[in-house]
């Protein structure tokens, strides 16, 4: 090989080499602390969307990155413990959903949140355009959608007067506030049941028996982990349900309206890629959802004896038979 060709080849190799933690520490790939609020099975679609995007960007677990998985099983207390563990381990990046637990555990390790309800309200970022700290990612905008979900329930149950809400203590604060405000506008009475653990789910339905005509289920770690059980109990109680994510409808819920969570997890992979290549979270704007879905389960509607309005079916992005 001529000297000139060798120099060109060397310069090209250096220019195209990723500026990653692995490049800075030869032989040691960067470590991502993956905080799963639920269980591996309940998160399977989301996890795969995230990993697929990383693979597309050149990052493969066990090859040039190492991913440490921890699962909270719907427990907010366990979630906080996981965040503290990753801070002690000094992982190179923490991937999470909401971001609050991770932010409380560390102010230096980069944090990427895939489903942050309101990062400004929760003190995670200074602004969406310039976060200014160690947190960035995708905003869920859950609070803006609460009214739309209640309107969908009213469309399905025109004479709806009383709505039950299953809430996990310490979560969905902004969304619950917006749901109550919109329920008041629609003339709906709200019966909110607060839960802390899976053992509270069955008693919650007993408390709603005869009091609520439909059910609003905010997306939280407890509900997500136990969504099949919640939907079974709702069906037994003859209560139509509305959710924020399509996975709840695939698990037996009536309908959902909200951002595409698989899309958000994919886009979170782009944030991880840029940070591993040297970008700072402080300078990476928090993005908002761009893809929203109305998913309807026609089989559950039939089981409940509900005839869904043709206009609603016409607007649905997907109708599950």
The CATH number linked to 120 is 3.40.50.2300
Domain assignment present for 5: no
Task: Provide the pLDDT for residue 9.
Answer: 42
The phi, psi pair for 229, rounded to 5°, reads: -60, -45
Q: Are residues 74 and 118 in the same domain?
A: yes
Q: Where are the alpha helices (DSSP H) in the chain?
A: 3-15, 21-24, 44-56, 76-89, 100-105, 146-156, 173-185, 201-208, 221-225, 227-236, 246-250, 261-276, 298-304, 310-315
Q: Are residues 179 and 307 in the same domain?
A: yes
pLDDT in tens, the chain (321 residues): 444 444 434 334 333 344 444 344 556 899 999 999 999 998 999 999 999 999 999 999 999 999 999 999 988 899 999 999 999 999 999 999 989 999 999 999 999 999 998 899 889 999 999 999 999 999 986 556 899 999 999 999 999 999 999 999 988 888 899 999 999 999 999 999 999 999 999 999 999 999 999 999 998 889 999 999 999 999 999 999 999 999 999 999 999 999 999 999 999 999 999 999 999 999 999 999 988 999 999 999 999 999 999 999 999 999 998
Name the 3-class secondary structure at 179: helix
Residue 221 is encoded by which pair of tokens?
Answer: 């770690």
Task: Provide the pLDDT for residue 27.
Answer: 67
Q: Are residues 82 and 94 in the same domain?
A: yes
Domain assignment present for 125: yes
Residue 109 Cα distances to 52, 95, 125, 267, angstroms:
24, 11, 14, 20
Q: Find the domain containing 21 and state its range.
A: 17-140+262-290
Task: Provide the pLDDT for residue 13.
Answer: 39
Q: Are residues 71 and 24 in the same domain?
A: yes
Q: Are residues 25 and 134 in the same domain?
A: yes
Task: Provide the pLDDT for residue 12.
Answer: 41
Domain assignment present for 250: yes
Q: Are residues 127 and 159 in the same domain?
A: no
Q: Are residues 197 and 110 in the same domain?
A: no
Domain assignment present for 3: no
Task: Provide the pLDDT for residue 26.
Answer: 57
Q: Are residues 226 and 81 in the same domain?
A: no
Q: What is the pTM of this model?
A: 0.82
Q: What total number of domains does the chain contain? A: 2
Domain assignment present for 6: no
Task: Provide the pLDDT for residue 25.
Answer: 52
Burial degree of 165 (CB within 10 A; 0-12, 13-18, 19+): buried
8 Å CB contact between 32 and 95: yes
Residue tagged 């958000």 (tokens): 264
Task: Provide the pLDDT for residue 282.
Answer: 97
Residue 256 Cα distances to 141, 259, 320, angstroms:
15, 10, 12
Give the CA count within 13 Å in the CB-facing half-sphere of 68: 16
Q: Are residues 161 and 238 in the same domain?
A: yes
Q: Are residues 285 and 298 in the same domain?
A: no
Domain assignment present for 1: no
Task: Provide the pLDDT for residue 121.
Answer: 85
**Could you give the CA distance from residue 306 to residue 308 in angstroms, rounded to a whole number?**
6
Look up residue 48 and give its DSSP letter: H
Task: Provide the pLDDT for residue 19.
Answer: 40
Q: Are residues 110 and 171 in the same domain?
A: no
CA 150 to chain CA centroid, nearest Å? 20
Domain assignment present for 204: yes
Task: Provide the pLDDT for residue 22.
Answer: 38
Q: Are residues 21 and 61 in the same domain?
A: yes
Burial degree of 119 (CB within 10 A; 0-12, 13-18, 19+): buried
Residue tagged 């489903």 (tokens): 115
**Could you give the CA distance from residue 16 to residue 13 in angstroms, rounded to a whole number?**
5
């Amino acid at each position: 090989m001529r000297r000139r060709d060798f120099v060109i080849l060397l310069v090209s190799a250096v220019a195209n080499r990723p500026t990653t933690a692995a490049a800075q520490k030869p032989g040691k790939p960067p470590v991502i602390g993956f905080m799963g609020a639920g269980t591996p099975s309940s998160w399977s679609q989301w996890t795969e969307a995230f990993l697929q995007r990383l693979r597309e960007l050149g990052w493969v677990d066990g090859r040039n990155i190492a991913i440490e998985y921890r699962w909270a099983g719907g427990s907010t207390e366990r979630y906080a413990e996981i965040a503290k563990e990753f801070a002690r381990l000094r992982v190179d990046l923490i991937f999470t959903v909401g971001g609050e637990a991770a932010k409380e555990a560390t102010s230096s390790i980069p944090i990427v949140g895939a489903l942050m309800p309101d990062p400004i309200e929760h003190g995670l970022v200074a602004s969406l355009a310039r976060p200014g700290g160690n947190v960035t990612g995708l905003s869920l905008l859950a609070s803006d959608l609460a009214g739309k979900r209640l309107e969908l329930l009213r469309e399905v149950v025109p004479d709806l007067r009383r709505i039950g809400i299953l809430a996990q203590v310490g979560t969905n604060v902004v969304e619950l506030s917006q749901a109550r405000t919109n329920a008041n506008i629609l003339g709906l009475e709200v019966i909110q049941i607060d839960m802390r653990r899976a053992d509270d789910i069955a008693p919650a339905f007993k408390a709603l028996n005869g009091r609520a005509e439909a059910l609003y289920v905010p997306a939280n770690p407890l509900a997500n982990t136990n969504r099949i059980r919640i939907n079974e109990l709702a069906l037994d109680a003859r209560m139509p349900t509305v959710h924020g994510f399509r996975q709840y409808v695939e698990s037996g819920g009536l309908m959902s309206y909200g951002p595409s969570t698989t899309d958000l997890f994919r886009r979170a992979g782009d944030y991880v890629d840029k940070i591993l290549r040297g970008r700072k979270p402080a300078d990476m704007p928090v993005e908002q959802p761009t893809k929203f879905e109305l998913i309807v389960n026609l089989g559950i509607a039939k089981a409940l004896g509900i005839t869904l309005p043709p206009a609603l079916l016409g607007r649905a992005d997907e109708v599950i038979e």
